[in-house]
Structure 1
């Protein structure tokens, strides 16, 4: 229990998986408690912006865990909101305190589910004989299946599920929209600051990166089998692969491991009649090194750079194009932009800034540089507005009236 109004259950094991393989439901005879592990990972590229996480969780491959935050474990049949975190498909975890859904659940009378999924090579290695790619995406699919089966026991309605995600999590939502197996597992979707240009990479390119990983692994652990080598050696090889990928591509934005195209890449057959919302933060690109050329690096920023152009190119224009395509496909679509620039922050309305307005607590965000010296009371006051809009969308398909600095419009 996280407070007088909500209960936080978990961590809960929702699936199991062999390394590089698709997940499967936890067998009925497997009654072990959750390990509480999160996927092995390097530090986040955005620690300088968000601040490093203040909570610590064991890292390991028994990481397919989630939490459920609910106002009550009753027959309330509340709307369910399933959260997929960002982190460039290489860092983050649903179990982190940043993603505590207590305020959203209590104020919105919704059930919030926050999901771990596999990251980096463990989640997205695409190489013949080892991994087919998209294991992390199929983890998310398995989590949605768990929600479908179990969420009524936590006061939620399995027929009223909204998926929402930020950055890499929003790209995951984009891919789930086109995944045939996900049809019927969720009914609304919110994409927050999705860099659509890197939604997926061709399988041939992913295989090249997979081969680089094996070459680097042979340096860090000579003779080791990638199926059994230590996670530490795999992360070391993954780090080297990231550097090699940056040198090859010239793009520090693209992670070395991420999704490959799904079997049916057109969303049109699956979105008709759905409610969708997308948006971005006005200065998303200030989170990255050189805002002028659109090349993020992960941390500081050029004081003379104007983030407007890169933010438009990376976020606003592609998302606007997607929104129009979704409308043509028969979806009901809403768009938002967050213009809030916290006092004392050099980053403005940066990437990830909406996160403390939706999820987490004062304690979780107390050292976040992107919040500057803004008092938590001001953060929470604006957060109530944003949380109300997200919960209203989950309940009705419409965020309702929202005051500045959150700007909203229907897409037609």
Structure 2
């Protein structure tokens, strides 16, 4: 960094901007010219992770006109800066790119980059798979459309459309993994960061997804295409409980991408061709599973099973296919927190938004100054990766994972 780096107050925030429109259960239609949006986020229930993240301090109107994004940039000039596109987590059912948690101002200021935070459809509205109603994977179609919008328009916001890094966390990281493998998304980004991606829920087989879709429709008891949003959310919640009772997979939401349909990779897709040449940084938090603890579970064992082992295998597969791969593990355990290096802990470090994160239970009693000190180190690594394709030497307590380094 140099003394020329702008302060956070110098950052220009623009949005929400509508990048596409969509009728319920239809594919998104691109918006050719940047247009202001009313700032709606996808209708959703409360997050099941409020107990570690804290409830969001901001609120946004919920509605189906939610295909919008927000931009933070140091300047609207010809700077051709690296672009970071953020896909939030939330189990494909909660969250929004417009939340204060994900304000890109600190990253934009410290790294002289452009940050784009994306909203996309969630839950049944985004991932219902039901014959004659919804083809599924609409949330992924939304993400592809947002990336196309970035390619077409980000130069006007000081960004370089040829240097885009896709960053996702949890379900957002699963989405990033799917986008890496999609021919439709090829060329829309050159780098990807996957933070705590639970790869066991990357997609669900066609038959299981259709059965859940039919249960949802039976529970709803009316046409999903015209039902009121509260009824949609109530049927979505009941379907989630049904799925938990019948499948027993606690980590898996009821509505997730469907394998081999639309924008998920088909079995005959060329994995090597799609990922060759990508720069990929992936990792997990040492105690990710303390956020999903169940009686009798050992969080260390479950973290290894759900995050470390699947991600490490995926990293090896990427490297063999010709991607340049780096990995990390976050070991920081904030003083006074009972959760350790839990799921989502890297988010306040990445975004550095003090007012949004300082009361998060997962941070314990850690002074914000300590959080920000580590955050600056993490942000520096991610920003270096966005510029060069390598994060450089990772500082403690960011540990190199088993496949760290270029491959």
TM-score range, shorter chain: over 0.9
- Tell me by how many angstroms 1:32 deviates: 6.3
2:377 aligns with 385
1:332 aligns with 2:327: no
* Structure 2 contact 8–106 (Cα < 8 Å) conserved: no
The two structures have a TM-score, normalised by structure 2, of 0.94
* Structure 2 contact 151–161 (Cα < 8 Å) conserved: yes
SS at match of 1:341: coil
- For residues 5-154 of structure 1, the aligned pairs below 5 Å read 5-26=10-31, 33-154=36-157
- In structure 2, do the counterparts of structure 1 residues 319 and 291 end up closer, same or farther at CA, with 3 Å as the change threshold? farther
CA distance in 2, matches of 1:118, 1:369: 28
CA distance in 2, matches of 1:324, 1:33: 42
- For residues 6-405 of structure 1, the aligned pairs below 5 Å read 6-26=11-31, 33-218=36-221, 224-261=222-259, 262-265=264-267, 266-290=270-294, 292-293=296-297, 306-405=298-397
CA distance in 1, matches of 2:197, 2:187: 23
CA distance in 1, matches of 2:379, 2:125: 33
Listed as ranges, the gaps of 5+ residues in structure 1 are 219-223, 294-305
State how many pairs are aligned: 393
2:3 aligns with none
CA distance in 1, matches of 2:291, 2:223: 37
* Structure 1 contact 292–307 (Cα < 8 Å) conserved: no
SS at match of 1:410: coil
CA distance in 1, matches of 2:379, 2:271: 27
* Structure 2 contact 21–67 (Cα < 8 Å) conserved: yes
CA distance in 2, matches of 1:32, 1:99: 21
CA distance in 1, matches of 2:150, 2:128: 26
* Structure 2 contact 7–110 (Cα < 8 Å) conserved: no
* Structure 1 contact 74–154 (Cα < 8 Å) conserved: yes
* Structure 2 contact 352–372 (Cα < 8 Å) conserved: no
- Tell me by how many angstroms 1:289 deviates: 2.4
- In structure 2, do the counterparts of structure 1 residues 377 and 291 end up closer, same or farther at CA, with 3 Å as the change threshold? farther
Q: Which region of structure 1 is more displaced relative to structure 2, 260-269 or 361-370?
A: 260-269
SS at match of 1:14: strand
The two structures have a TM-score, normalised by structure 1, of 0.93
SS at match of 1:8: strand
* Structure 2 contact 276–323 (Cα < 8 Å) conserved: yes
CA distance in 2, matches of 1:114, 1:72: 17
SS at match of 2:36: coil
CA distance in 2, matches of 1:235, 1:208: 18
Per-residue displacement from partner, 1:245-292 (whole Å, max 9, x unpaired)? 000011121000010122435521111111111000000000012275
CA distance in 1, matches of 2:19, 2:237: 29
CA distance in 1, matches of 2:161, 2:151: 5
**Root mean square deviation, CA, Å:** 1.5
Per-residue displacement from partner, 1:1-22 (whole Å, max 9, x unpaired)? 9943311110000000011111
CA distance in 1, matches of 2:287, 2:29: 40
- Tell me by how many angstroms 1:367 deviates: 1.9
- Tell me by how many angstroms 1:361 deviates: 1.1
CA distance in 1, matches of 2:299, 2:251: 15
* Structure 1 contact 196–315 (Cα < 8 Å) conserved: yes
